[in-house]
Amino acid sequence: MRIVYFAPIYYDDLMQRPQQIALQLARHHQVVYVEPTVCAMKYWLKGGKNFRGGKRKENNQLHIIRMNGFCTIHKSLEFFDFFGLNSISEYFQIRKIVRRADILWVGYAGWYTLVRHFMKKPIVYDKMDREDLLRGNIFLKFTIRRNVKSLERCARAVFLTSRKLRDKSLVRHDNVYVVPNAVSEDFIPKENEGKIYFGKISKIQKIGYVGTIADWFDFDVIYELLKMEEKYEIFLIGNNFSPYMRHERLHYSKARPHSELASCLFEFDLCLYNFKKGSLLDTINPVKLYEYLSANKPVLAVRSPETERFQKYLRLYDYPSEVPQIMRKDWQTPFENEKQRQRFVRRNSWESRGRRVECVLGEIKHNE
């Protein structure tokens, strides 16, 4: 099959679900990964990715392109674009590629204004989270909500990462599939498997978090840890979009390449998943939990519908004030031996998720 993958993030961003799914599909199919278009105005005002776009090959099966954004405006202004003029430039740039495609994969609702021009093609929508809750701009929020409704109605299949998203989905038919996030089977390189520890944790000193730090990050948990008598060293690794919290035992580090994450985790005695309670948290199926557990690291996590699915592997809290009491209990690794860890990884791998997605896409293609 030929699949055009309208992605929510750039391919060279921190490795997440979009790149992982694209890689899995490219094992057996031709995939064109379309990165978000950079409008010229944004580039001139803020810099960053060049608006002129470009294209390259990741491998023979996976091509990556970004369209020229000279004639486009920021997505938030599409709220006022009643005639859909913002997608015209993109339409003429991508139409030849789309005409040869068997399936259009949409990973971000902002692409709807473009893909609606290609309704004769089967459309698949991968809804990773509540996209509107991640946007601060009020006009962009409304645009995203409107596009999500349209995509859910027109898509031949809707993939969701969590059960809560399924409950909130407008689509009530058989074409809704919960396909959670996962971890790569090779996330822990073979040569590093000997570093994986099994058993009781004698002392916790280094506590780590890996991921983006933004409005959803709960600093109250960090505060509770730092004011305890135990002298914990806390390491936050990832892009930070929040005000810095200053403390001699709190250390920030920029985002690391995906290939280095496993090595980072081996440095920690315990890992954190400390998001704020709310509507956004309830829908998140966190990739970082799969990665923490793949490295067999003890995890302190906020309770949510998705973390409760892993509660036999995690220590869950409801409120930050509970953290000191939980931390004083004895800790041990999630898995007792390598066999248990390997079983978890196989059942929750991107490879297994890819096989399930391919089955659904095969049915869509067969029914055309």
Q: What is the mean pLDDT of residues 43-65?
A: 88
- Give the list of residues 6+ apart from residue 289 with CB closer than 8 angstroms, or none: 273, 299, 301, 307, 310, 314
pLDDT value, residue 171? 57
Residue 172 scores a pLDDT above 60: no
- Give the list of residues 6+ apart from residue 251 with CB closer than 8 angstroms, or none: 233, 234, 235, 236
pLDDT value, residue 365? 78
Q: Which residue has the higher pLDDT, 193 or 349?
A: 349
What pLDDT band is residue 169 in, cutting at 50, 70 and 90?
low
What pLDDT band is residue 170 in, cutting at 50, 70 and 90?
low
Which stretch of 116-130, 170-184, 262-276, 352-366 has the lowest confidence by average pLDDT?
Answer: 170-184
244: burial class by Cβ within 10 Å (0-12, 13-18, 19+)?
A: exposed
**Share of residues in the chain with pLDDT > 90 (%):** 65
Beta sheet of 233-237, edge-to-edge order: 250-253, 233-237, 206-210, 270-273, 299-302, 315-317
Residue 10 scores a pLDDT above 70: yes
Per-residue pLDDT tens digits for 261-319:
888 999 999 999 999 998 778 888 999 999 999 999 999 999 999 999 999 999 999 99
Burial track 252-280 (b if 16+ CB lie within 10 A, e otherwise):
eeebeebeebbebbeebbbbbbbbeeeeb
d(CA 261, CA 256): 7
Per-residue pLDDT tens digits for 76-85:
777 677 667 7
DSSP 185-213: TTSS-GGGGGG---SEES---EEEEES-B
Residue 181 scores a pLDDT above 70: yes
Burial track 301-321 (b if 16+ CB lie within 10 A, e otherwise):
bbbbebbeebeebbbbbeebe
Q: Which residue has the higher pLDDT, 58 or 145?
A: 58
pLDDT value, residue 344? 96
Q: Which of 236, 256, 238 is nearest to 246 (CA)?
A: 236
Q: What is the mean pLDDT of residues 330-356?
A: 95
**Sign of the CA dihedral with 359 first, then 2, 21, and 134 last:** negative
Q: What is the mean pLDDT of residues 73-92?
A: 78
d(CA 323, CA 90): 50
What pLDDT band is residue 356 in, cutting at 50, 70 and 90?
very high
DSSP 4-61: EEE-SS-TTSS--HHHHHHHHHTTTSEEEEEPPP--HHHHHHH--S-TT-EEEESSSS
Which stretch of 18-27, 38-47, 175-184, 297-306 has the lowest confidence by average pLDDT?
Answer: 38-47
Query: How much is the pTM?
Result: 0.88
Residue 140 scores a pLDDT above 90: no
pLDDT value, residue 145? 84
| Most confident of the ranges 33-42, 136-145, 312-321 | 312-321
Q: What is the mean pLDDT of residues 227-252?
A: 94
